[in-house]
Amino acid sequence: MTIGTHSNTKTNAILGVVVVVLALIIGFIWIPADIDTGIFEKARRRLEIGDAFAPTLATTLLGLGGALLIAEGLTSKSNLKVDARSLVFALGLLSVFAIFIALLLWTGPILVALFGAEGAEYRLLRDTAPWKYLGFITGGTFIVAALISFMEQRFTIKALVIGTVASLAMIILYDLPFDDLLLPPNGDF
């Protein structure tokens, strides 16, 4: 059952241009006008992440995505078809992301309630190891492993290992070098 068909070549190119222009406006006008600190700040001979780091990184990825849409839109000759199988696929992906968010947000608080010291609150422990890593590792491992398994249409231990390694690598790259950085969900959104 096909719900609709149209040529996506021109649409992707137009959408890509809009996204790239939006990323340029955000990156060169909005972020500098709205945020006082830079991407990195040097304080007392120590390099710290500035307030502009996360939005600049997100904007760069947005611009890269737009550039990929332009390239795909200019080279693709295929048609976009939305059928029942596509809808099931989309619902499956939405389910994966919903479970990821739940694991990210609730693993730490639940484990502190179950295994923390008497009267311990996750809110007070969110910047101490191992508590600050629990949600990030379980959520990160889950989303990577689930997306790999979803695409391969089967679960493998290899997908689980890749998810775990990816989560640990992000902790090593983003959390350990910076004392004032809190990984999701512990930092302010």
Tally of domains within the chain: 2
Same domain (yes/no): 153, 63: no
The distance from CA 125 to its chain's CA centroid, rounded to whole angstroms, is 23
Strand 2-7 and strand 79-83: the pairing is antiparallel
Burial class (CB in 10 A: 0-12, 13-18, 19+), 46: exposed
Same domain (yes/no): 102, 186: yes
Same domain (yes/no): 104, 178: yes
**Among 45, 77, 109, which residue terminates a domain?**
77
pLDDT in tens, the chain (189 residues): 344 434 566 777 888 898 999 999 998 988 888 887 777 777 777 777 778 888 888 899 999 998 988 888 777 665 556 678 878 888 888 899 999 999 999 999 999 999 988 888 888 888 888 888 999 999 999 999 999 998 898 999 999 999 999 999 999 988 888 777 778 887 654
Q: Which domain holds residue 21?
A: 1-77
Same domain (yes/no): 33, 96: no
Same domain (yes/no): 73, 125: no
Residue count of the chain: 189
**Among 77, 100, 128, which residue terminates a domain?**
77
**Among 77, 106, 130, which residue terminates a domain?**
77
Which of 70, 65, 68 lies closest to 12, judged by CA?
Answer: 70
Its pTM surpasses 0.85: no
Packing angle of the helix pair 9-25, 53-75 (nearest 10 deg): 160
SS3 123: helix
Phi, psi of 154 (to 5 degrees): -165, 150
